[in-house]
């Protein structure tokens, strides 16, 4: 499985992830500032897919925003899952999980 971070963030994202000790867990780190496109623009998702060498229909995006993550990923042709830890967001087009542990079954679909 190839993993990427796709985030509306500035150029410091790789350094921030490195300082947290997790940067090496990802095959690509895509921040909106250097990419020149922010979620929900499909361009940032396509950029990540290009770095991973993965087709949209073979990818899954998990995020916490109905608009930026779910709508953006779906517009780029990816499957999307919403992580909703608070269970307060309204219903939407994406399946919901409350913890990342619940994401595993979606990775084989």
Q: Contact 28/72 with Cβ under 8 angstroms?
A: no
Whether the link from the prior residue into 104 is cis, omega within 30° of 0, is no
* Residue stretches of the chain with pLDDT short of 70: 88-91, 109
Which residues are registered as beta bridge partners of 5? 29
- At 54 the pLDDT is 97
Q: Which domains does the chain have, with CATH numbers?
A: 4-108 (3.40.50.1000)
The pLDDT mean for the chain works out to: 93
Q: How many CB atoms lie within 10 A of CB 107?
A: 11
pLDDT at position 86, please?
81
Q: Residue 90 has what pLDDT?
A: 60
Q: What pLDDT, on the 0 to 100 scale, is given for residue 107?
A: 86
Plot region of 36 (φ>0 → left; ψ -120 to 50 → alpha; else → beta)? left
């Amino acid at each position: 499985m190839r993993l990427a971070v796709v985030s509306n963030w500035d150029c410091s994202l790789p350094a921030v992830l490195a300082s947290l000790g997790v940067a090496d867990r990802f095959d690509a780190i895509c921040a909106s500032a250097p990419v020149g496109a922010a979620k929900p623009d499909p361009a940032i998702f396509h950029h990540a897919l290009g770095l991973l060498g993965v087709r949209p229909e073979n990818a899954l995006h998990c995020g916490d925003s109905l608009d930026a993550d779910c709508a953006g990923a779906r517009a780029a042709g990816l499957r999307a899952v919403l992580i909703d830890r608070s269970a307060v967001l309204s219903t939407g087009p994406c399946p919901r999980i409350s913890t990342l542990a619940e994401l595993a079954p979606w990775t084989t679909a």
